[in-house]
Amino acid sequence: MSLLIGTRGSALALAQAEKVIALLERRGIGAEKVVISTLGDTVTGVPLHEIGGQGVFVRALDDALLRGEIDAAVHSAKDIPAKRPGGLVTCAVLERDSPADFLVHTVPFHEVRVIGTSSTRRRAQLLEHYPDIGVAPLRGNVDTRLRKLKEGQFDAIVLAEAGLQRLGLSLPGTRLPPETFVPSPNQGTIAVVSREGGTAGEIAEALDHPPTRRDIGLERIVMEEVGGGCFTPLGIYCDRGHLHAEVLSLAGDRSVRKDRICADEQSALAFARELGAEAAPLVREAYEKLGLKE
């Protein structure tokens, strides 16, 4: 009997699910896709913070898991919020692909005037490094964003480089190095979630990549300690224990940045507490400006 693997219906989500299924089948484990619609896919005209943040891409799949309708769900790890329902476990973390953002543009960079993104982090970082360029809201799946770029609504758009690679897309533009434009926590990583027990161990044994799990685990410690979710411009990236983290103002005119090698969870927590204490005013300011409660 095949495992039922839940996924969102976007082209990128399907590509990620198909990668997981191929890896499972290579190890003799049969699997098939079950496509589930999420709030994040159906409501695309407003910023993420107005409809619930990260969790809008995950909740429907969590519910299907808890009801026993699927055996596992495939996610971009960066979409998984800190607070998780009881009874679910991230049973496998695949080896990380590129963590970087990629600025897609067909005109020369010096001619770029308006960049499209609805990520508060990407917007703040772009404004920090390129204060003379405008940043305008842009949501939707990869196809939608590329269509709006082609129509001339923007001069450039920001996408995750890993997503382009998984879709087999080679596009003109500029790679934004993750050490400078620090990405979202867990960006570039595919995670598989299942119910505790059951098939979790079988999936983990087949797919889990311990070095990546260790790095993204340290990133999540910092994310959870600093807070802010997807509402605060927050970048966290760990490469073999070397943590890079920054919190920015929404306007990108102020930031707190720290870099440190952390050997374990305790050193990552100490690092996170230092960052959180210094960046607390920026986090509070972001919540206030967005009309949210901490």
Residue 109 has pLDDT above 70, yes or no: yes
Domain membership of residue 184 (yes or no) is no
Owning domain of residue 86: 1-94+189-208
Report the domain count for the chain: 3
d(CA 33, CA 267): 40
d(CA 26, CA 20): 10
Asked if 153 and 202 sit in the same domain, the reply is no
pLDDT band at 228 (very low <50, low <70, confident <90, very high): low
d(CA 95, CA 231): 27
The predicted-structure confidence for 74-89, as pLDDT tens digits, reads as follows 999 999 988 889 999 9
Asked if 129 and 24 sit in the same domain, the reply is no
Spot the catalytic one: 62, 63, 71, 79: 79
Asked if 68 and 6 sit in the same domain, the reply is yes
Q: Tell me, what's the pLDDT at 77?
A: 95
Asked if 86 and 217 sit in the same domain, the reply is no
Domain membership of residue 158 (yes or no) is yes
**253 an active-site residue?**
no
Q: Tell me, what's the pLDDT at 214?
A: 97
Asked if 172 and 43 sit in the same domain, the reply is no
CATH code for the domain in which residue 124 is found: 3.40.190.10
Give the Å distances, CA to CA, from 98 to 29, 141, 190, 240. Answer: 27, 19, 11, 14
